[in-house]
Amino acid sequence: MSIAEARGPRLDALARVEGRDKVTGAATYAHEYPVDDVAYAWPVTATVAAGRVRAVDVEGALSEPGVRAVLWHANAPRLVDTGEALATVLQSAEVAYRGQLVALVVADTAEQARETASRLDVTYDSAPHDVTFSAESPALYTPQGGDEVTTTERDTAAAFGASPVQVAATYRTPPQHNCPMEPHATTAVWDGERLTVYDSTQGGHPVRATLAKAFGIDPDRVRVVARHVGGGFGAKGTPRPAVMLATLAAREVGRPVKIALTRQQLFDLVGYRTPTIQTVRLGADTDGRLRSICHESVEQTSTVEEFTEGATAATTMMYAAPHRHTAQRLVRLDVAVTSWMRAPGECPGMYALESAMDELAVATGIDPVELRIRNEPPVDPGTGAPFSSRHLVECLRLGAERFGWDGRDPRPRSSQIGGELVGTGMASSTYPVNVMPASARARAEPGGRFTVSINATDIGTGARTALLMLAAEALGTTPDAVRVRIGDTDLPRAWVAGGSTGTTSWGMAVTKACTELCSTLASRHPGGVTAEGVEVTVDIDDDIEAMSEVSRHAFGAQFVEVRVDSATGEIRVPRMTGVFAAGRIVNARTARSQLVGAMTMGLSMALHEEGVVDAAFGGFANHDLAGYSIATTADVGDIDVTWLDEDDDDVNPIGTKGVGEIGIVGTAAAIANAVYHATGVRVRDLPIRLDKVGVLGAASR
């Protein structure tokens, strides 16, 4: 029996199986695991943006009550280089950015550690720094894989120049921070040469591999537990400083160690979304059909590790055009390490592309929905491969119907209610579908019960519940007969919760294990399961290899209404509509939650979020939730979310595409386009603050 052959009826929706534990406080997070004789660690971070650490007053700090150790590069144990900047701690005198780790205080209580760390005397040899991000920087370079060219740049430029309608604009997005509810935290326990860490991570196996390599021990001696994780949005996708520091400190003092980074420390130590400067050039005929697309992105990266956001990736496959050119450039600055944030690449990239498409709609006088439909490609324009399924047009049409788009007056400033200008805007969404290797174990117990085990990580998405539903379906039983075990590297190996791959990758493994278990029971145990039980363990490596060569993407359409105060420029978003084609939706309840949450995060990106770099001193000036604004309940109006019943047999054996990220893609552009429709002011640099729309003149900015 194949993976795709479900044995039982499909469930449509199920409440989170861990929901009661979370709301009653019974769910245990990384910093909460009870251990005996625990010590606490507190990081000390650099107050200069470049230079070297010359000295640390270790002796003075050790004289403080309860202090057990003060570690810095001169006395910290040497670790094997893992090649991961965010996981490399206290190994060098070099300071690459303000806020970098330079020392660690370990004490009997968290209060003692924090107080001593706040007064630790660190001496620096400072050096000049450069934190200014500019598209004109002479240090710009092309990263490995940074150019994605379908036709040549020269041909694309010529096609643009010959086009009757031309749109050329530059769009800017600022640094943006992940801000998960649970900070990065770890409890580390050494038992001889065996290590157990309770970590707030999106995937235990990469943490285990990195710890094993860094500390020179066998991976089988490392156990990583992450049963409950309070969000990550990419910031916990690879090992981050907390787990390395706790492990290092625990070995040094010979006691278990707990660490929890502060909200302020998260802004520098765990990664963030790079700022972008994106130039988009669209050449089209008067009927709106594209002749050329050029999308170029400039991004910053740190001096210690290169990271490319991939902002132009979606442009290679989104719309039909005979000529296209995409390119990315990076500049190394004395800034913190950039990394993943929800929908890396597609999120800022589609803001630029979909804003430019709206400008093309204005230039041609064509409705924005119709413009996108006219440029629908028959195959993936970047690769020529057929799509496993592509229902963007259906999303556009259903979204327009649900939102009430028809009859919209396209003229800016054409609608006003009282003192508020009313505008509507829309944008398309997309996100790629990937499958990562995974393995799972299914066990039949006496009495008709089952246990399914896989080292998946539920970061608040409802993964545990979705896997339970898939397992029950494949086993032909009810959910209450199945127990799902996740979040522990003692369980079968699985990829991280990231890239919208979780339900697909883990779900394929779970479904396969349960299907094979049923076959085993039918052929070898027709009389029932004995006290020892029956189990099978599988992986999906061969299944991934056998998948067809098609272009796999989820799609969506987002529509928003904004209201802008005509006197102050204050912007409100009373309603948003999102329609998505994301393959099979396993659990309607948690899927809706993911899409609503992502659209809310996109609203936050459009109107609120902006990391501000201090040019004089380096680092982020607004490194807390008082200075770094994010959307709250009062900022969010009605969000109408739905999806198509998309049956895609080619995308993967269980037909899923993932919903964790696509909801944020396109939201910011839809809001920006609506603000233009309301005010006549085209704001091309996020966030859209009231000072940017000003007193609502008609000039573009």
By annotation, the residues acting in catalysis are 661
Whose CA is closest to 676, among 364, 410, 429? 410
Between CA 654 and CA 4 the distance in angstroms is 5
Between CA 373 and CA 392 the distance in angstroms is 8
Q: Are strands 276-284 and 553-565 parallel, antiparallel or unpaired?
A: unpaired
* C-alpha count within 13 angstroms, C-beta hemisphere, residue 101: 29
- Sheet containing 185-191: give its strands across: 67-72, 101-107, 39-45, 257-260, 185-191, 194-199, 222-225
Between CA 218 and CA 215 the distance in angstroms is 9
Within 365-462, residue ranges assigned H as helices are 368-374, 392-403
Q: What is the DSSP letter of 411?
A: S
User: Cβ distance 473 to 523 under 8 Å?
Assistant: no
Within 334-421, residue ranges assigned H as helices are 346-364, 368-374, 392-403
Between CA 260 and CA 103 the distance in angstroms is 15
Whose CA is closest to 684, among 307, 277, 218? 277
Between CA 505 and CA 599 the distance in angstroms is 24
CB atoms within 10 A of CB 693: 26
All residues at 6 or more sequence positions from 663 whose CB lies less than 8 Å from its CB, including other chains: 429, 556, 578, 580, 594, 595, 596, 597, 598, 599, 601, 602, 641
- Three-class SS state of 333: strand
Ramachandran sector of residue 345 (left: φ over 0; alpha: ψ -120 to 50; beta: rest)? left
Between CA 421 and CA 417 the distance in angstroms is 6
Between CA 680 and CA 409 the distance in angstroms is 13
**E runs forming strands in 12-145:** 39-45, 51-56, 67-72, 94-95, 101-107, 122-126
